[in-house]
Amino acid sequence: MRQATVTRNTLETQITVSVNLDGSGQSRFDTGVPFFEHMLDQIARHGLIDLDIKAVGDLHIDAHHTVEDVGITLGQAFAKAVGDKKGIRRYGHAYVPLDEALSRVVVDLSGRPCLEYECEYTRAVIGGFDVDLFGEFFRGFVNHAAISLHIDNLKGKNAHHQAETIFKAMGRALRMAVEHDERMAGITPSTKGTLVG
């Protein structure tokens, strides 16, 4: 079982994230940011990744530090859980619709952080959540998971639908990328022989 738990404490947040990449999509969240938790649940359920995230942050200011630092800590836990990457598919992709909205997510567990994030939300706030913070979450995750992540919302009129298709597609793309490939058993899926840095 590829599992990891990471705790990260700063003056702004105290966060613990547990990840099981070979889970069944179970999740438990306590972040104080309900709509964000709804999106994280999409990653768990559609990625079949068990997630347990506890965060205490300076929400009296706003949700920025909490959301960004959850991304950082989740990225650290993901990198630890995936390990040496031998025998995995490495690449993953998914298109996910929700009514009128459609998003595409493509991931490469390359060892090199890169985020390309294209989404024009139709409104700035969903359920009290500032959609600008999604970018901070993805950036924190990518930088600390050391992956390449391309996110494109291709269409959508309802901002909730836009966000949900992105997070569902991310879960499914990650699920594909971390899957074991029988033909690559024991082999690092890189011509360099390494996927670290």
Query: Could you give all domains of the chain from N- to C-terminal order, each with its CATH number?
Result: 3-184 (3.30.230.40)
DSSP codes joined into one string, 138-157? HHHHHHHHT-EEEEEEEE-S
The runs of H, that is alpha helices, within 87-146 are 132-145
pLDDT tens-digit series, residues 37-61? 999 999 999 999 999 999 999 999 9
Confidence of residue 184 (pLDDT cuts 50, 70, 90): confident
Q: How far out from the chain centre does Cα 190 lie?
A: 23
Residue-level pLDDT at 167: 98
CA diameter of the chain? 51
Q: What is the pTM of this model?
A: 0.93
Residue-level pLDDT at 181: 86
Confidence of residue 164 (pLDDT cuts 50, 70, 90): very high
Spatial CA neighbour of 12 closest among 71, 76, 56, 74: 56
For residue 91 the two structure tokens come to 């690449």
pLDDT tens-digit series, residues 120-159? 999 999 999 999 999 999 999 999 999 999 999 999 999 9
Residue-level pLDDT at 187: 65
